């Protein structure tokens, strides 16, 4: 779906992912953290932990970028949403796709361990306050049929390996169909086949 309106492009690309109870749920959560989020008003800039966000900051490719991982009962959506100048669309989307596919081949152990720490910290911060705890309990009861303690969740996070990240990325991103929505200055945006071709690397 495409609409032209101004010189700023808003682009979201997503892949079909996994449900809450899937064996791939926690690797997908870590992949989301590894790709990260960026806003040019943030102080991190080029020092961002995410390689994708570093490249976006160093080359001034986008105003903001966020990775999303939405789980449902029997499926999910995993992808990236970017807001960028119209003249940066081609370079920005090339960088996004390259970093998505990189998770299939060359995620590092250091990246995975850092993502584990960040994911644990964000989960604990999400439990700050009675209303947040009550919401977490209700969501887990609807999702899992019981409440998992933070210790159990952390053990599941720690059990994810770099190989699991590669396998999950290979299943949901590598050479897979996608959904894309874009609005604004998108005259540089590639067509469906462009994104399809950039969903894998040719390795010899």
Span 60-93, pLDDT tens digits: 999 999 999 999 889 999 999 999 999 999 999 9
Residue 182 maps to a domain: yes
* Separation between Cα atoms, residue 9 and residue 15, nearest integer Å: 20
Mean local confidence (pLDDT), 183-189: 94
Please count the structural domains in the chain. 1
Please determine, for residue 98, whether its predicted confidence score (pLDDT) is greater than 80: yes
For 9-46, letters b (16+ CB in 10 Å) and e give: bbbbbbbebbeeebebbbbbbbbbbbbbbbeeeeeeee
Residue 152 maps to a domain: no
**pTM for the full predicted model:** 0.90
CATH number at residue 37: 3.30.830.10
Residue 98 maps to a domain: yes
Residue 90 maps to a domain: yes
Burial class for 130, CB neighbours closer than 10 Å (0-12, 13-18, 19+): exposed
Residue 151 maps to a domain: no
Residue 203 maps to a domain: no
Residue 81 maps to a domain: yes
136 φ/ψ sector (left φ>0, alpha ψ -120 to 50, else beta)? alpha
- pLDDT the model gives residue 45: 66
- Over residues 119-175, the pLDDT tens digits come to 999 988 888 888 988 988 888 888 888 888 889 999 999 999 999 999 999 999 999
**Which domain covers residue 83, as residue numbers?**
2-109+161-197
Residue 135 maps to a domain: no
């Amino acid at each position: 779906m495409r609409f032209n309106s101004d010189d700023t492009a808003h682009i979201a690309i997503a892949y079909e992912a996994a449900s809450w109870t899937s064996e791939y749920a926690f690797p997908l959560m870590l992949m989301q953290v590894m790709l990260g989020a960026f806003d040019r008003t943030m102080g991190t800039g080029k020092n961002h932990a995410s390689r994708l966000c570093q490249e976006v900051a160093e080359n001034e490719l986008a105003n903001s970028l966020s990775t999303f991982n939405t789980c449902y009962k029997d499926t999910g959506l995993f992808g990236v949403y970017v807001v960028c100048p119209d003249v940066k669309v081609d370079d920005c989307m090339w960088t996004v796709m390259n970093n998505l596919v990189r998770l299939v081949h060359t995620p590092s152990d250091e990246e995975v361990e850092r993502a584990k720490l960040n994911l644990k910290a964000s989960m604990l911060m999400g439990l700050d306050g009675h209303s947040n705890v009550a919401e977490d309990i209700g969501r887990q009861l609807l999702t899992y049929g019981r409440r998992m303690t933070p210790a159990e969740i952390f053990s599941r996070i720690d059990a994810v390996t770099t190989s699991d990240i590669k396998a999950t990325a290979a299943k949901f991103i590598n050479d897979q169909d996608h959904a894309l929505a874009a609005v604004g200055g998108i005259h540089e945006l590639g067509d469906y086949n462009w994104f399809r071709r950039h969903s894998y690397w040719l390795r010899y």
